[in-house]
A and B are shown apart, each in its own frame.
Chain A
C-alpha cells in the first residue's frame, strides 16, 4: 500500500465517522424536539413560548454541517478506492431515519393523547418515499455492485490529459486517431488561446502535416 492510498483510507474513515455522527446527532436532536411537541425556539429578542431542549440548537446545525463536510471527505476519497462507495446512501439514511421519527411520533404522540398526529404521518410518508424509493435501484445488480463492491478506478480508462502550457516541455503530440482537419483545428485553438506559442504552434503544425503526408 502506498502513502497516497493510506491517506485516502484515513480520510475516508474519518469522513464516514463524521457522516454517521452527524446523522445520529440530527436523528436524536429531532426526537428531542418532537418530545416537546415538534417546535421550539432559541435565542433572539422575543419571548419564547417553547424553548429548545438543551443543546439541540447547537447539535442540529452541527450535525448537518459536519455531516456534509464528512460526506464530501468520504465521497472524494472512496471514489478512488475499491470497495463500498456509500455516498449516495447518505440521502436514504437521512430521510429514512427522520421518516422513522415522524412515523413513531405520529402513531404514538409524545403528549400521551390517543389518536394519530396526521401532520407527522404525512411527513413520514413523504420522507420514507424520498429515502426509500431510490433504494429500489439496488434491485439492479450493477447498481448494488457499484455501491458495495466497486472496483478501483481504472486509470488507463481516463481521458488523456492535455499537457500543454507553461509546464509543457514541447508542442503536444497530436492524437493519432484525429483526422487532419481536427488535429489542425485543435492546434489552432491552442494557439489562439495562448496555450501554444507561435514557435510551438509552427512546430506542432509541421509535425501534424508530416505525420499525415
Chain B
C-alpha cells in the first residue's frame, strides 16, 4: 500500500504548482497584450 505524501512533499509540490501558475500567468498576460495592443 502506498504511503501518503509527507507534509514537506505536499508543500514543495504546491510551491511548484504555484510557480508554474505565476509563469503561465505572466506568459498569458504578455500574449494577451500582444494580441490586443499589438505589441
Contacts and interface: CB of A to CB of B under 8 A. Distances in A.
A19 B25 contact: yes
Interface string B1-34: 0000001001111110110111111101110110
Interface string A66-92: 000000000000100111101000000
B29 A22 contact: yes
Contact of B30 (A24, A55, A58, A81): A24
Given A59-B36, A59-B37, A84 B14 contact: yes
User: Chain B interface: which size bin?
Assistant: 20 to 34
A128 interface: no
Dominant SS among interface residues on chain B: helix
Interface in A21-49: 21-25, 27-29, 32
Contact of B36 (A17, A20, A24, A55): A55
Given A18-B25, A20-B26, A83-B10, A28 B33 contact: yes
A149 interface: yes
B28 to A, nearest CB: 5
A13 B17 contact: yes
A149 B14 CA distance: 10
15 contacts: A14-B21, A16-B18, A16-B25, A17-B21, A17-B22, A17-B28, A20-B21, A21-B28, A24-B29, A24-B33, A32-B37, A55-B33, A83-B12, A84-B11, A150-B11
Interface of B: 7, 10-15, 17-18, 20-26, 28-30, 32-33, 36-38
